[in-house]
Every structure is written in C-alpha cells, then in structure tokens.
Chain A
Amino acid sequence: MLSVDKRYRFIYKPVVFVASLTPALYLAAGAFGLFGLSLGADPVAHLLHSCGKTALNFIFITLLVTPVRRLSGFTHLLRLRRMLGLFAFFYVVCHFFVYLVLDQVLDLHAVLQDVTKRPYITIGFTGLVLLIPLAVTSTQKMMRRLGRRWQRLHQLIYVVAILGVWHYYWQVKRDIREPLLYIFMLSLLLGYRIVVRWQTRRRVTSKSGSATAQERI
C-alpha cells in the first residue's frame, strides 16, 4: 500500500494534470484538424468561448476543494488545489491570448479601446490581472514567506470568480440561461463560505456570551 504522499505524487496528481489538460488538447486538435476534429465555422469565437468557459469551470472546481474536503473528510484533497488553481490561470491566459492574437490580431489600439470602453471587457481584464499575484505566490516558498498574509491575498479568488461570472453574463446577447446557471453555482460556493463563517462567529460569540452570563452569576 502506497503512502498518501506517494499516491498523490505518482497517481492522483498526474491523473488530474492530464485530465485538466484535456480541454486544451481537444481544442488544439480541433485547431489543427487532427482526428477529424474541427473548431467549426467561426474558429476564433469557438476558441475564445471555450477557453473562457473552461477557465470559469476551473475557478469553480478550485473553489469546490474546500467544501468537498470539509464535507467528505478527504482533507488531503487540499494537495490538488494549487494545480487546479494554476489550470484556472492557464485557461484565463489562453482566453486572453486568443482574444489578443487571433481575435484582435495584436491591434493594441483596439484592445486598449475595448478594455477602457467596454465594461464587460474591463471586468474580465481586471479578473485576469488579479489572478497574476495569486499564480505568482502559489509556490511553497511564497506561502511560507507570506505566512498569514498569503491566506488574505488568496481570498482575491472570490473577487475573481465574481468578476469572471459577471464578465460572462454581460457579454451574452439574450439567452442568459447558462450564465444564470453559473451565477447559481457561484452563489452556492460563496454561500457555503458565508454560512461557515457565520457559524464560526456564532460559536465564538455564544461561548463568550455564556462566559459573560457566568460572570454575571
């Protein structure tokens, strides 16, 4: 029987890595016309939307780690969180580069206009920028160096998740059913954290409350 360490190192992490890379490989195969795959009539739009949605999905999966390990007791799932978060960043970067290189053909003037004039792009771009410090500080070394501040910094992921879903919701033309589904899932993920925090606070205050009651007696 392998130790938890080894199981993660040699089985779980490689499997999750390959699985996380699958959407990118699938799109690349489509882009190069491999295995009979194609990106359809509007390949740039297809790449753009697929990368964007995959990025959102990875942000959600990353945000799922904490609730799942708390509720299931598989506490060591935490070891996968960094990789999942970095894949979220990877797909956001792909999304941005598809937009910059393929969609806007490196027309920096047009990109600047978009980022400053179009609120949904401003929001999306802000999300991308906010993810950069999180990716940079994702190493063990940075975690140790930042100590308690690391936790605070990485709470930015909640802001990024909200901006990402907002960015998606805002660019849809009329049929908002799918963005609404994302809003719903986001509310569950964030709602869970609010409830947990609220419960912890109540436990703390009720303890101190009973303490004062005892003092009174």
Chain B
Amino acid sequence: MKKLPGGIAPSEITPREVYLSRRSLLAGALAGGAAATLPAVAEDAPPAERLNYTLNREYSVNLKPTSFEDITSYNNFYEFGTDKDDPKANAHTLRPRPWSVTIAGEAEVTGTYHFEDILKLQPLEERIYRFRCVEAWAMVIPWVGFPLGAFLQRFKPTSRAKYVAFTTLYDTRQMPGERYPILEWPYVEGLRIDEAMNPLTLLVVGLYGQVLPNQDGAPLRLIVPWKYGFKGIKSIVKIAFTERQPPTTWNIAAPNEYGFYANVNPHVDHPRWSQATERLIGGGFFSRQPTLMFNGYEQEVAQLYRGMDLRRYF
C-alpha cells in the first residue's frame, strides 16, 4: 500500500503487511466462521453509518429525489443478475471493506491505496443529480462523493494521459453474475481526460447521506450525470491513465448500440428505441417526460463536444 499524494502522513496509513494479514484473517473468519478473529472483522465490517458531507447547491438540481427504496431496488448491476431486483437480492455477497484501489498508467504517482485513505483526502459533498439510463428511464439521486478531477490531479497525470480507464472488481465469489458470459468481465469503462476533469464528474461513496449500498456499486463508483447510466462503472478497483481510448464493456458487447461517449441525447435514438423521452421512476403511471440534451447539463458540458458529430460519436 503506497503513500497517498496530498500530505497524508505515512503513520496514518495502514502498512501493507497489516492490511494483507487483516484481509487473510477476514477470509479465514468467513471461511471457518471462527470467532477468534473478531477484532479484524469488527474493524472491517461494512458500516451502515451516515457520512459527513455538505450539500453542494451549485451542482444540485432542484427536483424531488427518487425514493431510497426505488434507487436501491431497481438496479442494473449484471454482476449480481440481469433483472432489476436481482442486485438488491444478491449483492450481499460483495464485501466492500476492506477495499483498495489501484492508480496506474500515465501518471507520476501510481500505486495501490486503501479505500479509507482515499476517503480522507477530501471532504465529501452531496449532489442531487439527474440520472438517465440508456433504457429510457430516469431518476433523481442525492449522491455523496467527491469530484473525480481534483482527485486525479493528485497523481500528476503526464501529458500522455489522454483518457482515464476504470475497472470493476473481478471476483466470481463476490460477484456471482460474473460466472455467466453475458458481458465480458470485468466491467470496464472510460472517459476522455477532459470529461474526467469536468467538475460535474463524481466519484461516489454514498447516497441519501448513507454509505453506498452494495447494489448501487459499493464502495466506490463513477457518476457522469450527462451520460447514460452504464458509463457510471460500479465497485471500482482500478483507475488508469491511458494514451489511447480504452475499451468499454457495453461498446464491446454491441458496438452499434452503445458508443464510447454515450452522452444523453434526445435527438440520437438507440437503434431499437427512442431516446426522445424517458419514464421517471417513482412517477407512477404517465411518468413519461422529455429527455434533455446532455441530461440537462448542456451548459456545463456542451463545449467538450464542440465540432463533433454526435450522431457518429454516440
């Protein structure tokens, strides 16, 4: 486990050996159900605690958030099954603590870091964002997290860092859906560096003020509010700076249906359905509403795509 950039004292960081031994203790405890390892288990047990955060009004929409129940029971997270209610039923096998994230690629500072240490780096903020799934349904979600851009800057990306690539955990015991070749595992996603640095792009660790539930991508997920939901990769274990555009899972699965950019765009339809409107979850019957360009974040992000043919780069 390496020292994090940003003035964290080495003493604050758990030595790698301790962390690894704790991990094996935990594995042992889970395998044998031994009570002797209680201290380690207690420390690593997934906390259902509330987070400390402040609401960022500037970046929040003034809309009524979708209910916690709907946000946590209507999920696309194929690592736990392909039905919307599968993730809630099955995600208990995921162990979001302890967790570590590897930063790699075209940056001066790279290494593997404790999730807890990453959390300490910056204050958390709440942002109420629109959420638009490529399947033409939408939510309003009060995320808790921190901006990806400022976080990435700590690792001093080099001039060759043109893209950022993300990887989800690959572990068929924790994520049983990865046993089925429905998608290519592990799930991978990517952003252009300027998209990653946009202040709207968020690394999320919670919702509704609570630690992120497993089915929503615990412990760390990406949210890019002007893009379709599948860009918001969940349960991230690796972030790499790359020179070339990284492969992305849904694009590999169906390149004519899901592009690298996946910007919300009511004028560019999915080959099989219209993207002009969306069903707002929790709105009951007659909840169809028009979809907004860049999901309503046009002012903030339109300049990123100036001069690009959005039909071609969908």
Q: Which residues of A pack against B, CB within 8 Å?
A: 31, 40-45, 102-105, 110, 113-114, 118-120, 170-171, 173-175
CB neighbours of A43 from chain B (8 A): 284-285
CB neighbours of B170 from chain A (8 A): none
* Contact present for B285 and A42 (CB under 8 Å): no
* Contact present for A174 and B183 (CB under 8 Å): yes
B54 interface contact, C-beta 8 A: no
| Cα distance A120–B273 in the bound complex, in angstroms | 9
0/1 string, B75-107, CB within 8 A of A gives 1: 000100010110000000000000000000000
Q: Report which of B182, B183, B281, B285 forms a contact with A102, defined as CB distance below 8 A.
A: B285
* Contact present for A45 and B272 (CB under 8 Å): no
CB neighbours of B287 from chain A (8 A): 44
Shortest beta-carbon distance, A105 to chain B, in Å? Answer: 5
| Count of residues in B whose CB is under 8 Å from the partner chain | 27
Q: Report which of A41, A102, A170, A175 forms a contact with B82, defined as CB distance below 8 A.
A: A175
CB neighbours of A44 from chain B (8 A): 279, 285, 287
| Known contacts A42-B84, A43-B284, A114-B274; is-contact A174 B73 (Cβ 8 Å) | no
B135 interface contact, C-beta 8 A: yes
Q: Report which of A105, A119, A174 forms a contact with B288, defined as CB distance below 8 A.
A: A105
| Cα distance A171–B85 in the bound complex, in angstroms | 19
| Cα distance A105–B254 in the bound complex, in angstroms | 30
Cross-chain pairs A/B with CB under 8 angstroms, 25 sampled: A31-B285, A40-B85, A41-B73, A41-B74, A41-B281, A41-B282, A42-B74, A42-B279, A44-B285, A44-B287, A45-B137, A45-B279, A102-B285, A102-B286, A103-B279, A105-B286, A105-B288, A110-B277, A114-B273, A120-B272, A170-B272, A174-B78, A174-B254, A175-B78, A175-B82
Q: Report which of B69, B78, B276, B279 forms a contact with A110, defined as CB distance below 8 A.
A: B276
B-side interface mostly: loop
| Cα distance A118–B271 in the bound complex, in angstroms | 7
8 Å CB contacts to A: which residues of B116-168? 135, 137
A-side interface mostly: helix
| Cα distance A40–B69 in the bound complex, in angstroms | 10
* Contact present for B137 and A42 (CB under 8 Å): yes
B70 interface contact, C-beta 8 A: yes
| Cα distance A113–B272 in the bound complex, in angstroms | 11
B253 interface contact, C-beta 8 A: yes
| Cα distance A171–B253 in the bound complex, in angstroms | 15
| Cα distance A43–B282 in the bound complex, in angstroms | 9
Q: Which 10 A-B pairs have the closest CB atoms?
A: A41-B74, A175-B82, A41-B70, A41-B281, A175-B182, A102-B285, A105-B288, A174-B182, A42-B281, A118-B272
Shortest beta-carbon distance, A53 to chain B, in Å? Answer: 13
| Known contacts A40-B74, A42-B281, A102-B286; is-contact A174 B253 (Cβ 8 Å) | yes
| Cα distance A168–B104 in the bound complex, in angstroms | 43
CB neighbours of A40 from chain B (8 A): 73-74, 84-85
